[in-house]
């Protein structure tokens, strides 16, 4: 998806930690009014170990606070249900990267970091007997599976393969692993793949030829390898013993899928005899369809069997019932339709006698799994601006929400005990049980920080239909005062604003900088029914724009504290596309515009981006629907651009390639419009490195502060 690419932390005048040099390569800014002088405000000095962690001058969330937070994720209950294993990502400021560690909530309610986490931990998983924890780590020089004791005192390396392990699962008897490894299909050994990669890396010539798409998945060039599942036996000590067996030998497909797949795409049967996975095998036309199928392969080898061939649309997220007799999965109804809502399917373990369990549920389920007693399934789905956890009766298909407000980002259940990773606009994620936090990460860092509540509102949008949005007061709000505002426009375009905590675009960054914030879930946003989501298809440039216009008017009418004469519109990806469109079709209200990784020429984008199926948003390729592309492409309306715009883009962005940002900036300069280009050469569609992210956010906040300053 064209998703938002960073996390908004807005606080320019309060805290500047003196670490702005070198993260973003800046191009000059010029325009009708000449160069814009920017004088940094004085800032507290950074400590040797990192930035100063304190709220903004307004008392709200600062960039440094958000950048340095502990990020809680991936809860996993121990087999006896008494302990909760989870991961916490912290920021290594000096190394400009995140570092993850394993933590445990003990049976007595205390939580602690496991000492064996030194060197990095991801995908931490209990062994079936609960006596060990397996995980991925690069500490040995490549990504391999490691194992620590149940108390996390020491770790030993489980695999020493010549290629990286990208994902793993443990068989139910604990005697084998199923690992995902990148391999060349014509290589009979892993060493062959490793040797070829080394040869390519040391070759004097860098010429490479390609005969099919995709060329550049997400942020790297396709090197010709496919991700295959291998079985790997373990010895009595839980360490790899013997040669790995390719369970997908000869399969021209990936598990997990590229570029951002994970271990939810395959599952091992409870008896340990089969592995079931989702993948594509269309050969040269693979990139032109999203038609994933679910396959079953024997752990002893042999060709995989397609279980969902009849459905010409994606089938994914397979999960076995606890007794192994049934298989459930998510089946989409339409090929190449972004935002299509899946149906939960349940069949026999071999996929036969499958039936649609939720044919009438008008939501988009994900993260499917069985309840431990086999009588129900769980799934998460967006609903009316929240991301809830739902329970689905395995017999009747009846659905009920288990959570109300906030975002459930992960969960686990065992023996009736259910734990969540849950967050909201007002708080980062914690491990939660029955509405009660089991962890208190970031409590000290957020002490005394004003995090205004996101207030939901509804208005009549396109076609008179109800559209939901959010309004935030600024931090330190004083009744009777009026405040400048930012209008945040989400990406996707089918990625809604839900009540969650973001480390890329976070509205509390702007409340902390003294802004009122308005956000709208325009037509196309999931969580409001399939018809509402589909309304954007063939209508990128009109129906969402109408919603945004009416939502802004509604927010101004109902909130006198918003100073509509001091406002800027900001967006990334599709949001950046919309900012470019607003620049030509609705620029009246705005003092300034901010466009990160946005679209300038839609036709060129659809032919150059890493996803070849995205043209379905316009009903076909640009040469077949030229008039529609032209009408909804921002470059058509450049003649009406006049408002100052900040353009930001990363060179490793192959979702919306940097040429889109360069085209935007070039058009602004040719038009004589005040503009600035911020280049982040080592980032993709998302700005992820901590120092890059802070500097990138400062650029945004400097820009909006200059143009929204009081007369």
| DSSP states along 627-646 | HHHHHH-GGGGGGG--S-EE
pLDDT at 29: 32
Distance CA 567, CA 514 (A): 12
Tokens (6 digits) for 61: 């969330």
Q: Burial-class residue 151 by CB neighbours within 10 Å (0-12, 13-18, 19+).
A: middle
Q: What is the pLDDT of residues 522-557, one digit of tens each?
A: 999 999 999 999 999 999 999 999 999 999 999 999
Q: Give Cα separations from 289 to 282, 332, 539, 579, 616 (angstroms).
A: 8, 13, 21, 29, 10
What is the number of other CB atoms lying within 10 angstroms of the CB of residue 338?
A: 22
Tokens (6 digits) for 620: 């076909």
Say what angle helices 574-585 and 543-558 make with each other, to 10 degrees: 80
pLDDT at 275: 98
Please write down the HEC assignment for all residues of 446-489: CCCCCCCCCEEEEEECHHHCEEEEEEECCCCCCCCCCEEEEEEE
pLDDT at 152: 98
Distance CA 356, CA 344 (A): 6
pLDDT at 10: 30
Distance CA 700, CA 522 (A): 24
Beta strands in 534-656 (DSSP E): 562-572, 592-596, 645-650
Evaluate whether 349 touches 329 at the Cβ level (below 8 Å): no
Choose among 216, 78, 127, 105: nearest CA to 655: 216
Q: What is the pLDDT of residues 17-29, one digit of tens each?
A: 233 223 333 332 3
Per the listing, tokens 């984008």 go with 605
User: Which are the contacts of 421, defined by CB distance < 8 A and separation ≥ 6?
Assistant: 72, 73, 74, 75, 86, 408, 409, 410, 411, 429, 430, 431, 432
Per the listing, tokens 């029955």 go with 434
What would the DSSP string read from start to end of 307-347? S-TT-SS-EEEEEE-TTSSEEEEEE-SSTT-TTPPPEEEEE
- C-alpha 608: how far from chain center: 21
Tokens (6 digits) for 365: 């389920």
Distance CA 253, CA 52 (A): 47
Distance CA 303, CA 295 (A): 10
Tokens (6 digits) for 259: 């570029």
Evaluate whether 656 touches 598 at the Cβ level (below 8 Å): yes
| Secondary structure letter of residue 283 according to DSSP | G
- C-alpha 445: how far from chain center: 24
The alpha carbon torsion through 265, 270, 273, 274 (nearest 10 deg) reads: -20
Evaluate whether 44 touches 17 at the Cβ level (below 8 Å): yes
Choose among 364, 363, 266: nearest CA to 320: 266
Show the low-confidence residues of the chain (pLDDT under 50).
Answer: 1, 3-48
pLDDT at 2: 55
What domains can be seen in the chain, in order of their start residue? 25-66+446-708 (3.40.50.1820), 160-194+211-217+224-306 (no CATH)
List b or e across 170-181, with b for residues whose CB sees 16 or more CB atoms inside 10 angstroms.
bbeebebbbbbb
User: Which are the contacts of 564, defined by CB distance < 8 A and separation ≥ 6?
Assistant: 485, 552, 556, 589
Distance CA 62, CA 699 (A): 14
What's the pTM value of the predicted model, to 2 decimals?
0.93
Beta-bridge partner residues of 103 = 86, 113
Omega before 259 within 30 of 0, i.e. cis:
yes
| Secondary structure letter of residue 242 according to DSSP | S
Distance CA 550, CA 476 (A): 28
């Amino acid at each position: 998806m064209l998703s938002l690419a960073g996390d908004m932390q807005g606080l320019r005048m309060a805290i500047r930690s003196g670490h702005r040099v070198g993260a973003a390569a800046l191009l000059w800014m010029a325009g009708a009014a000449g160069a814009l002088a920017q004088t940094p405000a004085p800032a507290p000095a950074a400590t040797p170990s990192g930035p100063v962690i304190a709220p903004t001058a307004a008392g709200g969330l600062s960039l440094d606070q958000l950048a340095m937070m502990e990020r809680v994720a991936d809860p996993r209950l121990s087999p006896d249900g008494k302990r909760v294993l989870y991961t916490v990502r912290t920021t290594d400021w000096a190394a400009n990267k995140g570092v993850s560690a394993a933590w445990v909530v003990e049976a007595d309610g205390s939580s602690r970091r496991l000492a064996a986490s030194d060197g990095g931990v991801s995908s931490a998983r209990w062994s079936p007997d609960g006596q060990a924890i397996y995980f991925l780590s690069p500490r040995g020089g490549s990504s391999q599976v490691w194992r620590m004791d149940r108390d996390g005192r020491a770790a030993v390396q489980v695999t020493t393969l010549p290629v990286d392990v990208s994902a793993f699962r443990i068989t139910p008897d604990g005697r084998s692993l199923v690992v995902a490894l990148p391999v060349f299909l014509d290589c009979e050994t892993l060493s062959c793949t490793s040797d070829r990669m080394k040869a390519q890396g040391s070759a004097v010539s860098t010429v490479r030829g390609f005969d099919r798409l995709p060329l550049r998945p997400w942020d790297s060039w396709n090197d010709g390898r496919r991700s295959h599942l291998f079985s790997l036996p373990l010895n009595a000590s839980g360490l790899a013993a013997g040669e790995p067996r390719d369970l997908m030998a000869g399969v021209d497909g990936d598990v997990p899928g590229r570029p951002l797949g994970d271990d939810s795409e395959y599952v091992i049967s409870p008896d340990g005899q089969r592995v079931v996975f989702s993948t594509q095998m269309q050969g040269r036309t693979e990139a032109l369809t999203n038609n994933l199928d679910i396959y079953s392969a024997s752990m002893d080898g042999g060709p995989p069997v397609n279980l969902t061939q009849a459905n010409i649309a994606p089938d994914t997220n397979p999960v076995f019932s606890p007794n192994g007799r049934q298989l459930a999965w998510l089946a989409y109804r339409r090929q190449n339709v972004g935002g299509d809502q899946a149906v939960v399917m349940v069949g026999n373990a071999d996929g036969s006698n499958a039936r649609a369990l939720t044919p009438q549920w008008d939501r988009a389920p994900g993260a499917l799994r069985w309840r431990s007693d086999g009588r129900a399934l769980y799934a998460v789905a967006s609903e009316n601006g929240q991301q809830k956890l739902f329970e689905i009766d395995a017999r009747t298909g009846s659905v009920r929400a288990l959570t109300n407000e906030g975002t459930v980002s992960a969960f686990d259940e065992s023996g009736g005990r259910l734990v969540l990773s849950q967050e909201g606009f007002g708080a980062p994620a914690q491990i939660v049980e029955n509405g009660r936090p089991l962890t208190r990460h970031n409590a000290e860092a957020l002490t005394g920080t004003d995090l205004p509540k996101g207030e939901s509102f509804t208005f009549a949008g396109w076609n008179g239909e109800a559209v939901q949005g959010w309004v935030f007061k600024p931090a330190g709000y004083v009744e009777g005062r009026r405040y400048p505002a930012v209008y945040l426009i989400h990406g996707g375009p089918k990625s809604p604003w839900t009540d969650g905590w973001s480390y890329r675009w976070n509205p509390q960054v702007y409340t902390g900088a003294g802004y009122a914030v308005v956000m709208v879930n325009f037509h196309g946003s999931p969580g409001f029914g399939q018809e509402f989501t589909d309304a954007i298809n063939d209508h990128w440039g009109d129906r969402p724009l109408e919603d945004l216009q009416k939502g802004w008017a509604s927010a101004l009418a109902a909130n006198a504290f918003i100073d509509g004469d001091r406002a800027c519109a900001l967006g990334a990806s599709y949001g950046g596309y919309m900012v470019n469109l607003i620049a030509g079709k609705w620029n009246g209200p705005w003092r300034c515009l901010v466009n990160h990784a946005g679209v300038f020429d839609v036709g060129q984008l659809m032919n150059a981006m890493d996803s070849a199926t995205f043209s379905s948003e316009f009903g076909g390729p640009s040469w077949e629907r030229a008039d529609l592309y032209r009408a909804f492409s921002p470059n058509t309306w450049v003649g009406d651009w006049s408002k100052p715009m900040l353009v930001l883009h990363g060179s490793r962005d192959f979702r919306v390639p940097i040429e889109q940002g360069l085209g935007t900036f070039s058009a602004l300069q040719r038009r004589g419009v005040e503009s600035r280009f911020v280049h982040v050469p080592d980032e993709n569609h998302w700005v992820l490195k901590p120092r890059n992210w802070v500097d990138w956010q400062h650029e945004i906040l400097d820009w909006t502060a200059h143009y929204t300053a009081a007369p």
